[in-house]
Amino acid sequence: MKQKKGQISSLQGIIATVVIVGLLIAAAFMIMNEFQEVDVFSSYSYSASNETGAWGNSTGYPLDKADDPGFNSATVTAAWNTSDGTEIVAGNFTVDRDGSLTNTTVIEYLAIQIDYSYNRGETGYVALNDTILAFTTIPELLGLIILIVMVGLVLAIIFSIIPGARTSGA
């Protein structure tokens, strides 16, 4: 009876496992990315009152609440010129997606106080972003993971060949 040398029965299982894990990670990234873009996660309404230190010119003033998770859909509800206390028409201002307040008129204001409403994310949005951030460490560790898999494959090959090299009765 002949012995078959060099058979690696576990190699196919290892490769299949690595491929399946890779596909699951890719699917998880796609699903989380879709959830992140859903408006439901960032549709809770808030407002900011009496934000001071703003200016009203064409360069844009970054709103204080623009750093809130999922900040979007900001609208100025009231504005005052703090130097003389006069009210400024709220329609004179626009807020872009990044939370930059811009004056749409030719009149420039050096110091204004504003009230605005905006939407932002809640616990689900923050948790989803934290999970996506945690998944970003996978590419950093990808080299190490591939190295460990390759060492495992080499060891599997070596240990399957060595027992076959022995001769009986020696």
Residue 142 lies in a domain: yes
Dump pLDDT digits (tens) for 96-150: 988 999 988 888 888 899 999 998 877 777 777 787 777 777 777 777 878 888 8
Dump pLDDT digits (tens) for 31-42: 877 776 665 555
Residue 3 lies in a domain: no
Paired tokens of 117: 């409403």
pTM confidence score? 0.56
pLDDT on residue 3: 54
Burial 21-46 (b: 16+ CB within 10 A, else e): eeeeeeeeeeeeeeebeeeebbeeee
Q: What's the domain count of the chain?
A: 2
Asked whether residue 103 falls in the same domain as residue 152, the answer is no
DSSP state of 89: -
Residue 113 lies in a domain: yes
Please, what is the average pLDDT of the chain?
80
Residue 57 lies in a domain: yes
